[in-house]
Amino acid sequence: MRIDKDLVAASATPLVLGILAEGESYGYAIVKRVNDLSDGHMQWTDGMLYPLLHRLERLGLVEASWGVSDVGRRRKHYALTPAGHEALAERRAQWQVVADALQQVWKDMGDTQAPRTVAEGWA
């Protein structure tokens, strides 16, 4: 199942904020976490994550610091700021509303059209 591009884009910020709420992380680890969480269905364009992280940094929602990976490479780590926690809470409330509304609609439609999962290999 391929997730619609707009949906991926819309959910990117709350996902990143949520993942960073679990603790400090860095680019590749965030992408991997998204993959795990969505069972590989949400395929991000990896390069796009960085402009997003930089925007969140500019908005003051995350804090970046350069560290070193276990093999000694320079690595930029991101952590959620208090403002980021607030933004996350707000986004969460918004998504909750959206999810509840969708839930209602699905229920009203009945279980006639159950979601079909297609095993999709690596792109």
Listing DSSP states for 16-59 in one string gives HHHHHHTS-EEHHHHHHHHHHHTTT-----HHHHHHHHHHHHHT
**How many Å apart are CA 112 and CA 108, to the nearest integer?**
10
Is residue 28 a contact point for another protein (CB under 8 A)?
yes
Q: CB nearer to another protein: give 7 or 48.
A: 48
User: Which of 5, 73, 107, 116 is in the footprint of another protein by CB under 8 A?
Assistant: 73
Q: For the CB of residue 36, give the shortest distance to another protein in the complex, in Å.
A: 12
Number of amino acids touching another protein (CB under 8 A)? 24
Q: For the CB of residue 16, give the shortest distance to another protein in the complex, in Å.
A: 14
Is residue 45 a contact point for another protein (CB under 8 A)?
yes
User: Which of 39, 55, 99, 102 is in the footprint of another protein by CB under 8 A?
Assistant: 55
Residue 50: both structure tokens together: 């960085």
Give the chain's length: 123
Is residue 69 a contact point for another protein (CB under 8 A)?
yes
Residues contacting residue 59 through CB under 8 Å, at least 6 positions apart = 83, 87
Q: What share of the chain is helix, strand, coil (3-state, %, to 5)?
A: 55, 15, 30
Interface residue list for another protein (CB under 8 A): 26-28, 31-32, 43, 45-48, 50-52, 54-55, 58, 69, 71, 73-76, 122-123
